[in-house]
Amino acid sequence: MNASYIKNCYFTRGAAHAEDCAYVIWDEASKQCMDSHMTDHCELGYGNVNTIRCYKAISSVNCEDCQDVIFSKDCVSCSNCFGCVGLRGKSYHIFNAPYSKEEYVRKLEEMDLGSWRSMEDLEHRSHEFWLKFPVKFMQGLQNAGVSGDYIYNSKNAKTCYRVRETEDSKYCMNLLNGPVKDCYDYANWGGGSELLYEALVCGDNTYNIKFSWNCYGGAKNIQYSIYCHGAADIFGCVSVKKTPYCILNKQYSKEEYEVLVPKLIEHMNAMPYVDKKGRIYKYGEFFPGELSPFPYNISEAHELFPKTKDETLKDGYIWKNEEERGYASTLAPEELPDHIKDVDEGILREVIACAHKGCDEECTGAFRIIKRELEFLKRLGLPLPRLCPNCRHYQRLQWRNLPRFYPRQCMCDYQVHNNTIKHSHHENGRCPNEFETSYAPDRPEIVYCEQCYQAEVA
C-alpha cells in the first residue's frame, strides 16, 4: 500500500526502497526493520520512531547514525547506549553516564532485555529520564530557511512536515525523497516533483499537476485526474496512460484541447459542485472530501488530524464503524512466556489476544506472531509483543509530533533545566528566541531554540 520499489515487506506502507521489513510505516530504504515509524536507511531496527541511518536501534526516537542504541532519544553518532538522551558521539553510556565496555555489557545482561517485564520497566524509566532534558523545537538537518517539522536537506520549505530535499515549497508533507521544487499543498511522495499544487500521491518525475490524485511516473500537465500514470496533457481523466489531450477520457486534437479546457474551467466556476454541506467547489479546489472512497478514521488523515466520529460526519467525511472481528484467541497475553528464551515455534500457531482490547486504536483484538518476527526477536533477544500490530503502531505515534505548529518562545532560562554552560546570546534570564514548533504549549517537554539546544548537546 502506498509503496514503491519495495521487496519482501509485510504490512509496510508509505515506503520506498525498503527490504525485508514488517509493520513499518513511512520508510525510505531500510532493511530488516520491524515495528517502526518514520525510518530512513536503517537496518535491524525494532520499535523506533524517526531514526536515520541507524543499525540495531531498539525502541529509540529521533536518532541519527547510531548503532546498538536502546531506549535512546535525540542521539547522534552514538553506539552502545542505553536510555540515553541528547548525546553526540558517545559509546557505552547508560542513562547518560559512561561505563567501561565490560561494565556496560555486564549491566545490560543484568537488565535482562529478553524479559517482557524488565523491558516494560526499563521503557518506563527511560521515558521519564528523557523528559528531564531539553528538546529542539523541530526535527531537521541541513536546512536553510525552513519551518515545520521533520525536514531534511531542504531550502525555503515553509510549514512543511516530513519532507526531504524540498525547495521553494509550502504546505507539503510526506515527501519521502526529493528533489521536490516549487510545490504547494502537496502530500505524498516526492521523488522528482516540480510545480505540483493540490496533489496527493503523486511523484516519481512529475511536473505541473493540479487537483489530482495518484498520477505518477513521469506524469505532467495534468488537472483533475486520478490514476493516470505517465500521462500528459489531460483534464478530468481516470486511468488514462499514454494518450495526450484527453478530457473526461476522450482524446481531442491539441488545438481542440486548448480551446476546450478554458471553457470547462469557465463552466466549473459558473456551475460549481456543491456538496451535501452546501460547500462550493469552483475551479481551483481539490476533489470534495465527500467523494473520498476512504473512511476518515481508517485513513492516515485520522492519525495526523484526529477527529471524533461526530466531527468527522459534521465535516462531511465518511466514518467506518469498528467491525466486530470476532477472532477466537487461543492465548491470553498474560499467558505468553515472559522471556524470549522460553518461546518456541509453537507460538506461530497461537492466536494471541491483544492486551488492549477496547481501545480506539483500530485494535484487531487478536494477532499472530509471524515467522520472521519470531526469528528477528530471537536474534535480537527481545520479548514477544503483547499488543496487536495496530496498537503497537499507535503507541509509537506518541513519539512523533503532529503537523500543527504553535508560536512559542525558547524555554531556556537556566532554571527549567540545569544548563551545562552559559549561552552566549543570553548569559542570564530567558532566551529571547522565538519559533514555530509542533510542541503544543501544554506539552511536558522543555523546548529549546536551535542555539540553546546546540549549546547543550555539543
Smallest distance, Zn ion to C-beta of residue 35, A: 13
Of 222 and 447, the one with the shorter C-beta distance to Zn ion is 447
Smallest distance, Zn ion to C-beta of residue 230, A: 40
Pattern 323-342, Zn ion, x by CB under 5 A: --------------------
Q: Which of 75, 336, 363, 377 binds Zn ion (CB under 5 A)?
A: 363
> Does 201 participate in binding Zn ion (rule CB under 5 A)?
no
Q: Which of 50-58, 262-270, 332-340, 352-360 is the region at the interface with Zn ion (rule: CB under 5 A)?
A: 352-360
> Does 222 participate in binding Zn ion (rule CB under 5 A)?
no
As beta bridge partners, residue 423 has 426
Q: Which of 51-59, 118-126, 284-292, 360-368 is the region at the interface with Zn ion (rule: CB under 5 A)?
A: 360-368
C-alpha cell at 456: 547543550
**Number of residues this chain uses to bind Zn ion (CB under 5 A):** 14
Instruction: Kindly report the three-state secondary structure assignment for every residue of the chain.
Output: CCEECCECCEEEEEEECCECCEEEEEEECCECCEEEEEEECCECCECCEEEECCEEEECCEEEECCEEEECCECCECCEEEECCECCECCEEEECCEECCHHHHHHHHHHHCCCEHHHHHHHHHHHHHHHCCCEEECCCEECCECCCEEEEECCEEEECEEEEECEEEEEEEEEEEECCEECCEEEEEEECCEEEEEEEEEEECCEEEEEEEECCECCCEEEECCECCCCCEEEECCECCCCCCCEECCEECCHHHHHHHHHHHHHHHHHCCEECCCCCEECCCCCCCHHHCCCCHHHCHHHHHCCCCHHHHHHCCCCCCCCCCCCCCCCECHHHCCCEHHHCCHHHHHCCEECCCCCCCCCCCCEECCCHHHHHHHHHHCCCCCCCCHHHHHHHHHCCCCCCCCEEEECCCCCCCCCCCCCECCECCCCCCCEEEECCCCCCCCEEECHHHHHHHHC
Q: Which of 108, 226, 304, 359 binds Zn ion (CB under 5 A)?
A: 359
> Does 167 participate in binding Zn ion (rule CB under 5 A)?
no
Smallest distance, Zn ion to C-beta of residue 9, A: 21
* Range 366-425, binding Zn ion (CB under 5 A): 388, 391, 410, 412, 423
> Does 24 participate in binding Zn ion (rule CB under 5 A)?
no
Q: Which of 68, 198, 361, 373 binds Zn ion (CB under 5 A)?
A: 361
Smallest distance, Zn ion to C-beta of residue 334, A: 15
C-alpha cell at 257: 484541447
> Does 226 participate in binding Zn ion (rule CB under 5 A)?
no
Of 23 and 186, the one with the shorter C-beta distance to Zn ion is 23
> Does 303 participate in binding Zn ion (rule CB under 5 A)?
no
Of 228 and 387, the one with the shorter C-beta distance to Zn ion is 387
Q: Rounded CA gap, 18 and 26, in Å?
A: 10
* Range 425-444, binding Zn ion (CB under 5 A): 431, 433
Of 278 and 358, the one with the shorter C-beta distance to Zn ion is 358
Q: Rounded CA gap, 147 and 92, in Å?
A: 35
Smallest distance, Zn ion to C-beta of residue 45, A: 22
Of 91 and 329, the one with the shorter C-beta distance to Zn ion is 329
Of 29 and 138, the one with the shorter C-beta distance to Zn ion is 138
Q: Which of 93, 158, 220, 356 binds Zn ion (CB under 5 A)?
A: 356
Smallest distance, Zn ion to C-beta of residue 352, A: 10
> Does 3 participate in binding Zn ion (rule CB under 5 A)?
no
Q: Which of 22-30, 43-51, 154-162, 445-453 is the region at the interface with Zn ion (rule: CB under 5 A)?
A: 445-453
Pattern 94-113, Zn ion, x by CB under 5 A: --------------------
Find cell 524540498 and name the residue: 166
Of 164 and 423, the one with the shorter C-beta distance to Zn ion is 423
Q: Rounded CA gap, 169 and 337, in Å?
A: 51
Residues that bind Zn ion (CB under 5 A): 354, 356, 359, 361, 363, 388, 391, 410, 412, 423, 431, 433, 449, 452
